[in-house]
Structure 1
């Protein structure tokens, strides 16, 4: 992913108003992000832990979506798999995140969900730049580039559900 600016990030959001995009918390460390290793930019809102944001390159520029985290599952901790990068995490390492749909459906309160790494570091997990612990990554015969392509395709399918 190419480096992006705060202005580009705010302009990319498709499922919130311009006012909401203007008020959302943008990461302060954009200059130090490992852009070459990122397929998308994802972050959690430090002021509101139940909010997360995701911005990804698209054919038309950038597409950003505001996400809400579902309430954590009560009960015995178990290992859960991220839908994008296929990394498994113990306990709360994976969260159900929902995005309000765009257009009329979003205005009616409709949303779509996906299970994602709670820290949104999927790109780093699939490249081995971040470790989720023993047994978190299953052995695959795919190259890193093929894994990144698979993750990008899964993300594009999710975004199509948000915008479609």
Structure 2
């Protein structure tokens, strides 16, 4: 992922109003990120704990989405839809996001299960122990990274372009 600036983050959001976009609290430590190891950039605002914000590169440009966490916890220990990490090193919660444009203004949303604090990029880069003799752990990690990128891309395109 390319490095983001506060201005590029703020202008990237497609499913928020102009007022919501201007009120976004963007992390101040953007320079401290290892952008080469991020497949998307996500954060939570401590002042609005049920909101999550994610920015991904779609067609070479940053696209941002605001997500809202469900107030009710899930009944079981779910698996993240993006990183599909089976070891569950962190909490996974249900988020809903408004679609962009007219569909979003009409109230259309899409929901998904995600790592609560957007740890997916770290999860897929772990080198797990070999599952069996001859198992290529590095190749498995590379497949997880590609899978994460495909899931993120599909979700963002659906919200941005879907009706």
Q: TM-score range by the shorter chain?
A: 0.7 to 0.9
Unmatched 5+ stretches in structure 2: none
Asked whether 1:26 is paired with 2:30, we answer no
Which position in structure 2 is the counterpart of 1:55? 55
Question: What root-mean-square deviation, in Å, do the aligned CA atoms of Structure 1 and Structure 2 show?
Answer: 2.4
3-state SS of 1:80 partner: coil
Structure 1: distance between partners of 2:55 and 2:24: 13
Which position in structure 2 is the counterpart of 1:149? 146
Structure 1: distance between partners of 2:99 and 2:71: 20
Which position in structure 2 is the counterpart of 1:16? 16
List, as ranges, runs of 4+ consecutive aligned residues in structure 1 with deviation greater than 6 Å: none
Structure 2: distance between partners of 1:148 and 1:72: 30
TM-score (norm 2): 0.85
* Deviating more after overlay: 23-32 vs 4-13: 23-32
Contact kept in structure 2, 1:40 and 1:57, CA below 8 Å: yes
3-state SS of 1:79 partner: coil
3-state SS of 1:26 partner: coil
Count of equivalent residues: 155
